Amino acid sequence: MSVVGARPNFMKIAPFIQAVNRHNKAGGEHIDHVLVHTGQHYDDRMSASFFDSLGIPAPDVNLEIGSGSHGVQLGQTMMAFEPVVVEHDPDWIVVVGDVNATLSCSVIAKRLKKKVAHIEAGLRSGDIEMPEEINRLVTDRLSDLLLTPDRIASKHLTDEGVPEEKICFVGNIMIDTLENNRAEAAKLLISEIVAENSIKEQPRKEISLADNTYGLMTMHRPSNVDHKEILTALMRFLMDEATQEVPIVWPLHPRTRKQLQTAGLWEEVLHHPRILLLEPIGYHAMLRLNVGAKIMLTDSGGLQEECCVLGTPCLTLRWNTERPITLREHGGASVLVGNDVERIRTEFYATLKLPNQPVSPEYWDGKTADRIVAAIIAAARTTTSV
């Protein structure tokens, strides 16, 4: 049984399901697979469109949890997930990443004495104030098989005392999705992406976009958008300075949209002649925009990883990252700038001068999902033999 809850999970579970199907077609031990969607991202743009575009089958179970505070999501997910596990009685439960569903379902799995495999184990930001960091720590402590995306993550686990036999370095499953969808994304035209996804209230803006001529931005973390002073300072730099160098394409998270309105910035951003606001967009559209961007500004961990492989110079709007392998000091494409405007300004102008330099860390090769399936089968055989 595998569990997804939020949009980052969907991009990681798609290649896993495909790898399970390949394994079953090849013969040998058949894997019966049940897909559970907790419903944390439940609207069409944030969820259903990703299932369709990535070829993910309809979930066998949808818990329909919806939005809410961390406590509400964690508690309701546990209550809804428990009877599903009892009914289906899986041998293994596969959880992904660091969203609330990952924590909730790993707790219930262990309560019911089920084996847990964690895809993307071992990631650490060192910031215990991040909800995701708590989710990672607890899930890794409960997991029987820890599937890591890089050797830095594996070392984190050994440093924390996790037995080496529980750790399996398999690579980054996000890159499987990227490699599987590059060709499809390349067919898309930037102008059509903008036309089809522009926010309706936005006036027509005469901006001609071509590859390597625009900036791409995403921003949704509370540290960046929930405080009026911080959000205002970021918007002033974006509107008054950054857009003088490149137009900015900005797929807007619902949380950020709401906070712009609350801070009294919405109308100014909406009508800025060099900012193109988009609704949340599908995976292929975002991949196409990333391929063509001259610079990325983001607080998304997944986009950091994609920028690394695509070579898109990236400013990470965070003070820490659980993905240090994506940083320039480790050969990646990203630099941490937090939400300090002076640092952002310095790195923005320096980054505009950088070339596009793709880097693929070890095992970021599009074959991670197959290694994951093989690792789970090997762990299951070991457990059975014992």
93-109: buried (b, 16+ CB within 10 Å) or exposed (e) per residue?
A: bbbbbbbbbbbbbbbbb
Tokens 């990631």 sit at which residue?
Answer: 123
Report which of 36, 377, 360 is spatially closest to residue 172, judged by C-alpha positions.
360
CA angle 116, 73, 223 (to 5 degrees): 100
Active-site pick, 23, 118, 220, 284: 220
In Å, how far from its chain's centre is CA 277? 20
In the sheet that 248-251 helps form, which strands lie side by side, from edge to edge? 275-278, 248-251, 215-218, 295-298, 314-316, 334-336
d(CA 231, CA 226): 7
Clarify whether 227 is annotated catalytic: no
Length, in residues, of the chain: 386
Amino acid present at 277: L
Report the catalytic residues. Answer: 220
